[in-house]
């Protein structure tokens, strides 16, 4: 049996992480914290917006390890030998290069008609457009199915209804005509 949910994103952390699943009618977040899993379901018909922005802590994630590795490299160069100092200095430059290549970390907010939730949707902002495109296509198809006009209802008046006056008959026929043209 094939599952109706497909995984679209995974954001890991030290204590667990969040996995995101998408189906035809909802977006499901499975947040794992140590030995428990908390599920949050967001129905696509209630979804108002999903916002992803770069985290301001990204620069600290870039600078602190690089500065520590560089300081360790300089101290090893000075007190131990140049080879060990070069190794740690190259590691510091490698860390900076890797973080710059991966891009800024992301924060995200999901707003529905009933709630606003801050949950990590993606780890990096460069991947956000891929995940948001998948969600957007499913939301558009769901909403287009909901907005398709239904077949007009034919209102049949009972035949043995008592005689109507002229104003009642014209009002009933105009309501029936308006109902058929509006499609509701």
Q: Which of the residue ranges 23-27, 110-114, 125-129, 151-155 would you say has the lowest mean pLDDT?
A: 151-155
Q: What is the pTM of this model?
A: 0.62
pLDDT at 166: 46
Cβ distance 172 to 164 under 8 Å?
A: yes
Instruction: List beta partners, residue 54.
Output: 106
Share above pLDDT 90 across residues of the chain, in percent, rounded to a whole number: 4
Q: Which of the residue ranges 49-53, 110-114, 159-163 would you say has the lowest mean pLDDT?
A: 159-163
pLDDT average, residue stretch 122-145: 85
pLDDT at 97: 92
- Measured CA to CA, the distance from residue 98 to residue 93 in angstroms comes to 9
pLDDT at 164: 47
- Measured CA to CA, the distance from residue 110 to residue 97 in angstroms comes to 32
Cβ distance 108 to 11 under 8 Å?
A: no
CATH 1.10.3470 fits 6-55+104-133, yes or no: no
What digits encode the pLDDT tens for the residues 148-168? 655 554 444 444 444 444 444
pLDDT at 76: 86
Q: Where are the domains of the chain?
A: 6-55+104-133, 58-101
In the structure encoding, which two tokens stand for residue 181, read together?
């043209």
Share above pLDDT 70 across residues of the chain, in percent, rounded to a whole number: 77
pLDDT of 8 above 70? yes
pLDDT of 145 above 60? yes
Cβ distance 53 to 125 under 8 Å?
A: yes
């Amino acid at each position: 049996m094939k599952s109706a949910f497909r995984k679209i994103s995974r954001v890991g952390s030290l204590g667990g992480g969040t996995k995101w699943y998408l189906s035809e009618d909802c977006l499901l977040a499975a947040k794992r914290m140590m030995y428990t899993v908390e599920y949050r379901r967001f129905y696509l018909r209630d979804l108002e917006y999903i916002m992803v922005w770069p985290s301001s802590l990204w620069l600290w994630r870039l600078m602190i390890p690089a500065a520590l590795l560089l300081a360790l490299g300089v101290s090893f160069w000075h007190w131990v030998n140049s080879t060990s100092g070069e190794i740690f200095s190259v590691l510091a430059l490698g860390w900076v290069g890797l973080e710059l290549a991966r891009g800024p970390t992301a924060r995200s907010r999901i707003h529905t008609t009933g709630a606003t939730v801050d949950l990590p949707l993606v780890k990096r902002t460069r991947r956000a457009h891929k995940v948001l495109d998948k969600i957007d296509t499913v939301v558009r198809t769901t909403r287009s199915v909901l907005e398709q006009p239904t077949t007009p209802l034919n209102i049949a008046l009972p035949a043995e209804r008592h005689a109507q006056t002229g104003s009642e008959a014209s009002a009933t026929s105009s309501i029936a005509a308006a109902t058929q043209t509006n499609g509701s």
